[in-house]
Amino acid sequence: MAVFFGARSSLNRFSFLRSNVAFIRSVVAFPNTRLIFYRKSQTDGSLQVYASKKSSNPRIVYLPLDYNEQIKALLGRWAMINEEATKSSINIRRRLNFTCVFLGMDENPGTKDSVFPEEHESRHLARLTFEKHSGIPVLAVDISGNAEFQDLLDKIIDDAEFTSSITDILNLSPIDAAVFSYAKMYLDWLLKNQFCPGCGSSVSPIWAGTKLQCTNEEKEVGKDGESVFKCPVRRTRVNNVCFPRIDPVIIIALRNSKGDKILLGHNARRKQLDKRFFSCFSGFMELGETIRSTVIREVWEETGLKLKNNIKIIKSQPWPFPANLMIGCIGTTEEGSENNITTHLDCELDHLEWFDANYIADIVYGRPTDGRIKLPQKGSVAFELIKMVTDDCISTKL
């Protein structure tokens, strides 16, 4: 079974401990706590991860907390202000010029599902024990606004650099890819959400960076005579602007009713980048839609084709560009509709083509072809869907 990029579980998130200030204090006091670092790119604004390139594939740097006393002191200060913010409306971001998120704990260091490779003898590392739980904590730190952090890393780490290259990212190990995706989506959310949508006041990350709280403490008299927060967001007990959002996206591989051809499309936005790149069809889910209804709408809007009822939901994949959940599906077009292709409805695609399943199979399995088209990279949900529908088409013909 293929493991999609970013989809391999590695950390126990211990989400119920995020608001436990005593636990967070113990995390930043524990010598073996690991830190991973991000910063905002000066060229395109994307978040870059700090990675080592000593081997053929990049490896995220997991820096031990006790590796440098200055870094340890900075994280200790963060924990103190994080605790203070749970009792008042201070803005952590104005007190510190870096952002930190507790990602969870690695409960089985040194195993195949661990974030720490065996060559580091991670099986023998001491683990943090809190109540009945134990493991090696991992924190993600965004140092975009902190020159001190940047200088420290340059001095203490060799052969590492910040990267957001899609080639580097897609060559991360499955475990590193999962950690990268998880951390990047949280830090990207914090970076892009600075103000309350209800009143415009600044918002501050609390619960170890996993929740945003409006800092507006103005109150008014409520309908029952009680004192309530004036801000409509802060006044509600539960709302969806305090926590990270993830955008569901359907992605579907299409075959014809005979099961011998696969429909692929070329995105109009890639016209100047790569005219040979063909892929599946995808689109964001809209309010009030089911997965199935989104698939039907997106396929019709992008191709003009209608589908049979046997739409299959196959797999899902977190995709951290910026914060999507890809929902992989396979569909079959209605018999007799295959030649009614159109691209003029939403103009997202500039070319659609039916390809023989055997031709696509040659590309998927690395056999010689004419090189006319390229497919998505292995490990992506798009590639795996194309592979699955290709295998299915060929097996039904045997």
Q: Which of 162, 182, 210 is the last residue of a domain?
A: 210
**CATH number of the domain bearing residue 143:** 3.90.79
In this prediction, residue 5 has a pLDDT band, given cuts at 50, 70 and 90, of confident
Is residue 233 a part of any domain in this protein? Answer: no
Q: Which of 163, 185, 210 is the last residue of a domain?
A: 210
Looking at the fold, whether 173 and 27 belong to one and the same domain comes out as: yes
Looking at the fold, whether 84 and 190 belong to one and the same domain comes out as: yes
Question: CA-to-CA distance for 106 and 101, rounded, in angstroms?
Answer: 15
Q: Which of 147, 181, 210 is the last residue of a domain?
A: 210
- Asked if 31 and 65 count as a contact pair (C-beta separation under 8 A), the reply is yes
H-run or E-run covering 360: helix 357-364
At 154-200, the pLDDT tens digits run 888 888 999 988 888 888 988 999 999 999 999 999 999 999 999 99
Instruction: Please choose, from the candidates 243, 211, 205, 188, the residue with its C-alpha nearest in 3D space to the C-alpha of residue 81.
Output: 205
Is residue 47 a part of any domain in this protein? Answer: yes
Please report the pLDDT score of residue 397 as a whole number: 66
Q: Cα-flanking dihedrals φ and ψ of residue 112, to 5°?
A: -65, -20
pLDDT above 60: residue 62 = yes
Question: CA-to-CA distance for 69 and 244, rounded, in angstroms?
Answer: 32
Looking at the fold, whether 92 and 153 belong to one and the same domain comes out as: yes
Over residues 290-294, mean pLDDT:
97
- Asked if 233 and 239 count as a contact pair (C-beta separation under 8 A), the reply is yes
Looking at the fold, whether 109 and 206 belong to one and the same domain comes out as: yes
pLDDT above 80: residue 229 = yes
Looking at the fold, whether 381 and 286 belong to one and the same domain comes out as: yes
- Asked if 36 and 139 count as a contact pair (C-beta separation under 8 A), the reply is yes
Question: For the packed helices 69-85 and 21-29, what is the interaxial angle rounded to 10 degrees?
Answer: 180
**CATH number of the domain bearing residue 341:** 3.90.79.10
pLDDT above 80: residue 240 = no
Angle at 368 between CA 363 and CA 374, to 5 degrees: 35
Looking at the fold, whether 285 and 170 belong to one and the same domain comes out as: no
At 339-355, the pLDDT tens digits run 888 887 777 888 999 99
Please report the pLDDT score of residue 337 as a whole number: 81
- Which domain covers residue 316, as residue numbers? 247-397
More confident residue, 50 or 155: 50
In this prediction, residue 364 has a pLDDT band, given cuts at 50, 70 and 90, of very high
Over residues 254-279, mean pLDDT:
87
Is residue 230 a part of any domain in this protein? Answer: no
At 96-144, the pLDDT tens digits run 889 999 999 999 888 877 887 654 556 667 899 999 999 999 999 999 9
Both tokens of 172, joined, read 């991360």
Over residues 358-378, mean pLDDT:
94
Is residue 131 a part of any domain in this protein? Answer: yes
Is residue 346 a part of any domain in this protein? Answer: yes
Please report the pLDDT score of residue 223 as a whole number: 84
Please report the pLDDT score of residue 225 as a whole number: 86
Please report the pLDDT score of residue 275 as a whole number: 81
Looking at the fold, whether 206 and 253 belong to one and the same domain comes out as: no
Q: Which amino acid is at 120?
A: H
In this prediction, residue 323 has a pLDDT band, given cuts at 50, 70 and 90, of very high
Over residues 59-64, mean pLDDT:
93
Looking at the fold, whether 203 and 352 belong to one and the same domain comes out as: no
pLDDT above 90: residue 300 = yes
More confident residue, 337 or 128: 128
Over residues 40-69, mean pLDDT:
90
Instruction: Please choose, from the candidates 226, 234, 223, 237, the residue with its C-alpha nearest in 3D space to the C-alpha of residue 199.
Output: 234
70-74, 169-173, 192-196, 294-298: which range is least confident on average? Answer: 169-173
Q: What distances in angstroms separate CA 355 from CA 205, 254, 255, 351, 359, one per listed residue?
A: 49, 11, 9, 13, 7
pLDDT above 60: residue 314 = yes
Looking at the fold, whether 71 and 205 belong to one and the same domain comes out as: yes
Mean pLDDT score across all residues of the chain: 90
Is residue 255 a part of any domain in this protein? Answer: yes
3-state secondary structure of 349: strand
For the chain, the domain total comes to 2
In this prediction, residue 303 has a pLDDT band, given cuts at 50, 70 and 90, of very high
209-218, 281-290, 335-344: which range is least confident on average? Answer: 335-344
Both tokens of 46, joined, read 């994307």
Please report the pLDDT score of residue 118 as a whole number: 56
User: Locate tokens 């809209």: which residue?
Assistant: 286
Over residues 299-318, mean pLDDT:
92
- Asked if 164 and 66 count as a contact pair (C-beta separation under 8 A), the reply is no
Looking at the fold, whether 169 and 270 belong to one and the same domain comes out as: no
Is residue 349 a part of any domain in this protein? Answer: yes
Looking at the fold, whether 199 and 324 belong to one and the same domain comes out as: no
H-run or E-run covering 133: strand 133-142
Please report the pLDDT score of residue 279 as a whole number: 96
Give the whole-number percent of the chain exceeding pLDDT 90. 64
Is residue 224 a part of any domain in this protein? Answer: no
Looking at the fold, whether 205 and 269 belong to one and the same domain comes out as: no
